[in-house]
């Protein structure tokens, strides 16, 4: 069994991809070819967001809006600690300082209570100025965007949504991409919508911000291409990656439906056996990961070993919360600073999830987990 199986999907799109690649070999516009415009327009229709800026990776999709906000070292951006490193790294790369926030043990997403406490503590300490919030749609479940918007407005903060895992999810009937002042996603191959290399995109309804982002994407270019008006980066997506995404976007909703069916099957079979992921009313997940919480670290190791014996791959996202990573040791967080995510990092593990898993395979994973627990 494969953790993420790209073979079956490839078989579905192979013919279309080969002719799309042939077209690129003919026109040879490898950078900013016509596929880029097509993809941005397709994604605009898909999300309903008025500006889509494709780019080189999910990380750059986070970095560019943060560069647009012109952060300085004394600017605080609040970010959950229980996420992929790039959610926080982007803040540092753009010149700001991350302030880490704990998560909810049921949804794995940022805790609003912990967020409010972190903002209050930061203001009281007086060393950093609160500037923004990066909510993360962890494992594909959208963050609580209404709750976060309320807090952001109270303190005058921007919201940059990290939907690297969450593109295609919904919150109160609205698609991800629509939340926050801007939203970043990733098309890394293992994400629910992945290309065949690195890629990302930024979504925003703010036309002025979009114009700055398009400039930042190409070295801060101005109207005169050789008069650069700001410091930017080489942040473009290439035409081949756009062609892959144009094809995959056509089958994406059907794949999301299958992911949700598989997640329901896991939950139905594992409820009462082990703690299953919670999707609150009004949310739909993309199931970038199906993540279970064991009763203890020891139980997790036992289950993962039992599954390995049966050739069932598992993975731990995330074994070390970011506030305890060596790169951020200088910020002075200790064990116990953010107890919920520290506890989860010892107990969570993810099981195979992709739209092409068979019912048989899902049931065999569930049986193996039940066998390891009893
Ligand atoms: C994958 C991921 C990123 C970074 O995306 P890349 O395309 O790998 O640069 C950022 N945030 C989260 C939550 C991710 O899962």
353 touches 119 (CB < 8 A): no
Tens-digit pLDDT profile for residues 302-311: 999 999 999 9
The sheet with strand 283-284 has its strands ordered as 174-175, 170-171, 283-284
Alpha carbon distance 116, 87 (integer Å): 19
Alpha helices in the chain (DSSP H): 7-27, 34-47, 58-68, 86-93, 112-125, 145-155, 207-217, 239-270, 297-309, 339-347, 359-373
Q: What are the Cα distances from residue 173, in Å, to 135, 152, 277, 320?
A: 18, 21, 20, 33
Q: Which neighbouring-strand residues pair with 203? A: 52, 183
188 Cα nearest atom in ligand 1: 7
**pTM of the full structure:** 0.98
Tens-digit pLDDT profile for residues 177-213: 999 999 999 999 999 999 999 999 999 999 999 999 9
For ligand 1, whether the C-beta of 200 sits within 6 Å is: yes
Alpha-carbon dihedral of residues 359, 363, 365, 367, nearest 10 degrees? -170
Q: What are the Cα distances from residue 107, in Å, to 139, 145, 289, 304?
A: 9, 14, 12, 22
* Smallest CA separation from ligand 1 atom 5, residue: 58
For residue 348, which of 373, 320, 372 has the smallest C-alpha distance?
A: 320
Tokens of 106: 């049921």
Res 6 pLDDT > 90:
no
Tens-digit pLDDT profile for residues 74-111: 999 999 999 999 999 999 999 999 999 999 999 999 99
Q: Which of 54, 59, 134, 137 to mutate to test the pocket of ligand 1 (most atoms within 8 A of CB)?
A: 59
Alpha carbon distance 253, 262 (integer Å): 14
- Tokens 């698609």 belong to which residue? 175
């Amino acid at each position: 069994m494969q953790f993420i199986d790209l073979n079956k999907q490839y078989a579905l799109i192979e013919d279309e991809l080969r002719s799309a690649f042939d077209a690129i070999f003919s026109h040879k516009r490898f950078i900013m070819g016509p596929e880029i415009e097509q993809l941005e327009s397709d994604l605009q229709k898909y999300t309903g967001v008025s500006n889509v800026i494709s780019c080189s990776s999910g990380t750059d999709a986070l970095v560019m809006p943060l560069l647009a906000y012109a952060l300085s070292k004394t600017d605080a951006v609040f970010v959950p600690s229980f996420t992929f490193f790039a959610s926080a790294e982007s803040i540092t790369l753009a010149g700001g300082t991350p302030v880490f926030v704990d998560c909810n043990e049921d949804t794995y997403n940022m805790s609003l209570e912990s967020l409010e406490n972190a903002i209050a503590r930061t203001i009281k300490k007086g060393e950093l100025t609160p500037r923004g919030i990066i909510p993360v749609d962890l494992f594909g479940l959208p963050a609580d965007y209404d709750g976060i918007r309320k807090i952001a407005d109270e303190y005058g903060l921007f919201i940059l949504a990290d939907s690297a895992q969450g593109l295609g999810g919904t919150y109160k009937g609205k698609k991800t991409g629509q939340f926050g002042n801007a939203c970043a996603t990733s098309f890394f191959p293992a994400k629910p919508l992945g290309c065949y290399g690195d890629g990302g995109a930024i979504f925003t309804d703010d036309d002025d911000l979009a114009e700055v982002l398009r400039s930042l994407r190409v070295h801060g270019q101005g109207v005169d291409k050789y008069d650069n008006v700001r410091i930017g980066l080489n942040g473009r997506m290439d035409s081949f990656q756009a062609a892959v995404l144009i094809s995959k976007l056509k089958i994406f909703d059907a794949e999301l439906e299958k992911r949700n069916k598989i997640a329901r099957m896991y939950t139905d079979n594992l409820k009462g056996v082990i703690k299953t992921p919670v999707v609150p009313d009004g949310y739909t997940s993309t199931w970038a990961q199906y993540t279970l919480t064991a009763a203890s670290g020891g139980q997790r190791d036992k289950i993962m070993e039992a599954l390995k014996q049966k050739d069932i791959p598992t993975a731990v996202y995330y074994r070390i919360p970011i506030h305890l990573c060596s790169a951020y040791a200088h910020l002075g967080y200790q064990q116990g600073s953010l107890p919920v995510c520290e506890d989860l990092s010892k107990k969570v593990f993810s099981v195979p999830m992709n739209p092409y898993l068979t019912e048989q395979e899902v049931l065999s994973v569930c049986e193996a987990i039940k066998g390891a627990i009893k």
